Amino acid sequence: MARIAVIGVGAIGSVIAALLQQSGRHEVMLCTRRPMAGLTVETPDGAVSIKAMVLTDPTVAPQVDWVLVATKAYDVAGAAKWLDRLCAAGAPVAVLQNGVEHRERFAPYLPLESILPVMVDCPVERRSPELVLQRGQMHLKVPADDLGRSFVDLFAGTPADAAAAPDFQTVVWRKLCHNAAGVLSALALQPAGVMQGEAMGEVLLQIVRECAAVGRAEGAQLDEQVAEAVLQAYRDTPPDAVNSIYADRMAGRPMEIDARNGVIVRLGRKHGIATPCNQMAVALLQAVVG
């Protein structure tokens, strides 16, 4: 049995907590900003009512065996407040965030060898502070090293698809190709159905092609049809499906602009690759939030 702390109990963190509880093998703690009256995850297999210790004060957090960070990518400083006590005995930290810079974000707070980047892919929406809707399977991919394999073992016996990926760089850049396109919903203030239009589809293709070009320069193995595959995936999604950056804008919360599209622009400049569509998307969203 492992003692596991989940920092950030939004949509992804809630599903992670439900999966770990379903394993029946772990003691799960939820690290949140405020007390929770209750939490239910509507999974594809039925409702799971989370029964876990809820912690709101980082200064009284106990030592644990694993820390799983599921906060937004822009809230690393907030998550880091928990790490001194939770990781006092050297617990590794799995970073379940969007983007391709998991280790870079947490390097100021932790030894690099204790940071495990995790690619998370799960269609999930937070309907209220107490209710999360999981529309499909949770996919978790990690580097194929000892730490990664230990993380995969945490989810043994659960419905999650957790696996070690020999080419993790390609995995996270392929996911970023999908995430980068989600900016269009945030800009249009419409769920996934907005991608059905021909004009919006053409813009999506350009956004993803820019991302793929930068990813290849970073060492990812992305085929020439990745943009078309992303477009088809969005068009196969239920038209009312909501991605996280759209949900954040609708709720007036900060958005993961840099982790999802800004990083493409920044690394594009590094490699001399033009990324005008992503650059425009970033500029427009930054103007929206002031």
Active site residues: 175
Which tokens belong to 93?
């930290």
Answer yes or no: are the C-beta atoms of 73 and 97 closer than 8 Å.
yes
Which tokens belong to 155?
């989810």
Q: Give the type of residue at 64.
A: V
CA 76 to chain centre: 13
Residue 8, Cβ density class (10 Å: 0-12 exposed, 13-18 middle, ≥19 buried): buried
Q: What are phi and psi of 71, to 5 degrees?
A: -75, 170
Q: How many CB atoms lie within 10 A of CB 5?
A: 28
* Cα four-point dihedral sign 90, 94, 99, 100: positive
Which residue do the tokens 């309907």 mark?
127
- Candidates 203, 225, 222, 229; CA nearest to 281 is 203
Q: How far apart are CA 132 and CA 126, in angstroms?
A: 4
Which tokens belong to 222?
């992305």
**In degrees, to the nearest 5, what angle opens at C-alpha 25 toward C-alphas 20 and 29?**
50
